[in-house]
Structure 1
Amino acid sequence: MASGNNLMEKLQDEVSCSICLEYLKDPVTIDCGHNFCCMCISDYCERWSTAGAALCPQCRAGFLQSTFRPNRQLANIVEGFEQLALQTDKEPMEKLCEKHGKKLHLFCEDDGEAICLVCDKSREHRSHTVIPIEEAAQDYKVGLRQFLGPAWFLPLQEKVRARRELIVAEFAKRHQALEEEKQLLLQRLEEDEEETLRKLQENTAFLVEQSSSLVQLMSEIEQKCQQPAADLWGLLWLDVTLDPSTANAYLLLSQDQQRVRVSEKRQDVPNNPERFDTCTCVLGRQRFTAGRHYWEVDVGEKTSWTLGVCEESVSRQGIFTPSPATGFWTIWLRNGDEYAALTSPLTELMLRVKPRQIGVFLDYEAGEVSFYNVTGSSHIYTFHDTFSESLRPYFYPGVRAGGLNDAPLSLQPGTE
């Protein structure tokens, strides 16, 4: 029977809360593994926790209040144990007095032990202070709670205090660093603002100066615009003449060297290296290494031609394909209505008005060669490039095409 009592006492300890000393109610488990009534450990933490942390009432291990875990399995065990205890009440399981075999209803405060009613009347305890065992149990509960008071939490509180001071110091250090960085950024921002304002003022002064120049330029342009277009081009107009020494043997040049057309027969001309030996084309006498120049060519009703400028050093022998890569900046007409700029690949040109006269404008320094439809008073195409050697006017009157393209290319003289 004694071993049965010991087992029941051991089980009773396991299912009892070490704070209230009653059976566990709504048991929860903390980080260290010990179990307590949910209400008991919550009240305990409310009184003694610091920054959400406390020490276990049993082992003094630290835990966080936020990590409580309900222990449903233990709750079922406690419930089963309570039912078992009720059943065994019919067979007393309490501890009995070892001397008299009676129930222990009293507690001797002098000896600190439970006694029975017979012991209370004995000489051993007659002069001692004896109280009911329930009252003694309550006193011990109060004493235990007091024992689990501030003394247990001093180390934790000291640790938390030191941690708090460390955090405060660290944040103060970071705050100081951020404040210094803020001041540095504000200083840089102020410097950037001053620099931007200075540049803005300089640009404003420059724009004011440029505005004055533009007003003057606009006035000059307005005056120029009142002049006829021919007068404006006349300022740049160049009387271009053809260079016979470069003309292919099947070309016929006029006596004034301002018209060229294709002949059926080969002409008796010297076989000099400047002459185009295969392609029926010819160059102008003029060579350009600077400046702006303009000339016009009458193409009439021709069905094919090529006009523009080329480098002095272009090949004169064999067949070649004109393009900027080979030193040619030209446009052409083919099959009577197919216009193109000789880029690589070709750039097709859509002209609303069929030109009878083509204007060619060269701006050497700007690297531009522009073509104009004089008949329709419109721009046709502009090449943009960089020139590094002498340029010369280039003319290709096309093939005869059974007489359909016999008309000559005619250079227009400048107007005085």
Structure 2
Amino acid sequence: FAAPDYFSLVEEGAKCYGRCGYLTEPVTIACAHNFCRVCITQHCEEWEKGTRPELTCPQCREPLQKGEFKPNTQLNNRVQKIKQLRIHPGKGKEPVVDLCGRHEELLKLFCEEDGEAICWVCEKSRDHRSHTVVPIEEAAQDYKVRNGPFLINPLQDPRFILLLLQGQRFKHGCLKLVKEKRAVITGEFNRLHTWLKEEEQGLLQRLAEEERETLQRLQENVTKLSQQSSSLQQLIAELEKKCQQRAAELLKVRDRRSWSVKLQEPGAISTELKNVYKICLAMKEMLQRFWVDMTLDPDTANDTFQDLPDTPERFDTYPEVLGAERFTGGRCYWEVEVGDKTEWTLGVCRESVSKKGMHGKYKARTSPSTPLPVSDSPSRVGIFLDYEAGEVLFYNVTDGSHLFTFTDTFSGTLRPYFHTGLSAGDTNVAPLIICPIPAQARGNL
């Protein structure tokens, strides 16, 4: 018979009975069996939870007291040496490439699809079951044949070849990831270009229809005016003829109602093309791509209902607060529910804005203030910041119209700004509500 493999027997004694591989922080219990500290601790916890009827040694079933185990430093040192022998065998030992990090088994196989060395347990797993797997020596030999002119003797070490194979896998993975990201970006922008082109064509078509309708109404008005002008000229000619008659005949004209002409005012024609402003509705989907989760910075809030410390960051006059987000570039969008409030202020400000001392109809806080021609009071306002373009755009989300665009050259840090307005005798006590990102917008971010 064949003599037993002494190294295998010693190695077997360095493994945990719990099938987790080599012992980690080994401890010895009363019956002299050894386990990983984590394994035996978990075994005791399962007994405490009632999933085990009694607390016994997992190997010999001898009674066990909780916490009745001691660290085995000598065994721990032996386990470390065995691991070293596995990785760096001495003379006369069969060279070992490496151990599987998950199963502590020899990496004797190579998966060609994933480009990595695996053990026999990995081969049976779901991740590699359908892949092409060859012995690691065969994969190394194929690599040497393909790259022979570039190899020198020190590079014949299988472990070095394995590193090269793993490097190729990493490179392949990076290139694949870049390709996928490039496809996603290209696809997204193609979709946006297509969508914008369709919106442009739709708006131009509706604009052309309005142009035709307007010209038609103008032509109808011109025709009516021409008809009225002809009737007036005919009446004037007849009146001039009557003026040549005798006085008795002439006085009869004022009793003749048939000589009167009723002038009709031409129909009013709007000079505004309503579809020009409807583009704001078409831009809503685009704006939602830049929607950010907006939160408030409590250290800047001026709350008269709480006794808060007066710090340099806190407003001290009006009910004001800054957003916690800080913007130094890029684009972002958020919406605020203003309801039927009679006074409020929204926008952005520099982080260095003065927060102490004194700082309504809708107006933009330009200098001087700019009155805004708002036909319907917005119940929800959208704010879009384009830092590089130096623009802050405000939208009436209620009807999709554009309210105002603030233009400046931005530098430094910008913060979202919120002012609920004064209570005005309890007529303006409703809060401002920051709107959460809609589900459909969150999926497009």
Task: State the TM bucket, normalised to the shorter chain.
Answer: 0.3 to 0.5
Give the TM-score normalised by the residue count of structure 1: 0.39
Give the TM-score normalised by the residue count of structure 2: 0.36
Compare relative contact order (CA 8 Å, sep 6+) and give the higher one, 1 or 2.
Answer: 1
Structure with greater strand percent: 1
Structure with the greater alpha carbon radius of gyration? 1
